[in-house]
Amino acid sequence: MANGYELEPARFAMTRARKSSFIWVAGVALLGAAAIFVIIWVRSRRHDAGPAARESASDGVRCTSLSPDKFTVDPGGRQQIVAHFSRGSGYRRLSWSASGGVLMTTTDRGQTSTLDAQIHVDDFDDGVLDAVLWRQEVPKDAVLAEKQGILWAFLGDGNEARAVRLESTAVVQADFGAQVTVRDVSAKKSRGATALTFVMQDGHETHVQAIAGPGYAVLEANAREPDGTWRTSASTLYGGGVVVLRLVRIGSTLSCSFDRGTGQIALGTFAEVSDVPGRIRLEIWSLDEYPTVESEVDNFGAGQNTVVLWQAPLDAVPGTSYSISLAPGCNATALIGKLPAAH
């Protein structure tokens, strides 16, 4: 144990690339279909968003719009609604509400007039690791810092498995999706890893990670029991380069995937893990012979119910309108269309 965090030695690279100055869209699919969260923001030029001009990280993300913001459905019809968010870093709890009909998750859970949501994002652009969003563990001879728009981590040579770690201050509950872009991970002599990890309060853990070493680049996913027993890992060679790692929980099942820019590819699914609350970690590990490791990470996002379904009342009268809102800040309007023609 170190600073209250367990350092797990049984863990199993990438080309530098700068983030786009245009629109960045990130989506996590649930079982390859319904989306649990989508983060969409517009990046201005970096010199327009220096630390002096930025809001504090805890207030730096807000809902900017819903799409569609106006739509027509038949009585009893359904519409998927996506929340869009501003650029920056921050954590927010939000609440969906509707003046009529019902709201539900994309897996058909809920069916009420209100639905809670949360968003936790960090683009690592402002040069400061915010204690409102993260608590950090940095061992001796290691560095963890935001610089030039990325999260940079360095681990010096050691004689044991070590990790540089960020852990979310916010507790994540129920179904959620999370993702992070690994821009680079490299290790001298043997292997290092950059992991997106979810650690549950009952001791369960699931991770998806990029592992690199001389002539070696693998993506790996696994789940651990509270007694320290690991399940059978899922892995694939990927040749290095920028990769988006994704982790989604539905019920007690956790699914791991990755995206090289051509679409999401499933890596491993672990059933009956746990549905209890937990925290998300970004971890950089020194493995095997405990070499020097460097890693660059970007564009972290985690969300719950930032994509929802709204269903109109079965007895809705054509011409009636309903309001759907995500507070604070965003609204949409639904208009009931004509009843289907009788046959």
- Asked whether the beta carbons of 267 and 231 are under 8 A apart, the reply is no
pLDDT category of residue 52 using cuts at 50, 70 and 90:
very low
- Indicate the pTM of the whole model: 0.80
- Asked whether the beta carbons of 339 and 73 are under 8 A apart, the reply is no
Bridging pattern class, strands 23-29 and 234-237: unpaired
Rounded CA-CA distance 259/55 in Å is 31
- Asked whether the beta carbons of 285 and 195 are under 8 A apart, the reply is yes
Q: What is the pLDDT of residues 193-211, one digit of tens each?
A: 999 999 999 999 999 999 9
Q: Which amino acid is at 125?
A: D
| Helix/strand/coil for 245 | strand
- Top pLDDT among 161 and 51 is at 161
- Asked whether the beta carbons of 229 and 209 are under 8 A apart, the reply is no
The encoded tokens of residue 49 equal 């968003």
Determine, yes or no, domain membership for 319: no
Number of structural domains (the chain) is 1
Determine, yes or no, domain membership for 342: no
- Top pLDDT among 264 and 51 is at 264
Q: What is the pLDDT of residues 106-138, one digit of tens each?
A: 888 888 999 999 999 999 988 998 888 999 999
Determine, yes or no, domain membership for 2: no
CATH of the domain at 262: 2.60.120.200
Q: Which range of residues forms the domain containing residue 159?
A: 23-307
Residue 59: per-residue pLDDT: 54
Rounded CA-CA distance 243/39 in Å is 17
| Helix/strand/coil for 57 | helix
Determine, yes or no, domain membership for 68: yes
Dihedral, 25, 97, 54, 123 alpha carbons, nearest 10: -30
Report whether pLDDT(342) > 90.
no
* Across 12-16, 96-100, 191-195, 314-318, least confident range: 12-16
Residue 24: per-residue pLDDT: 28
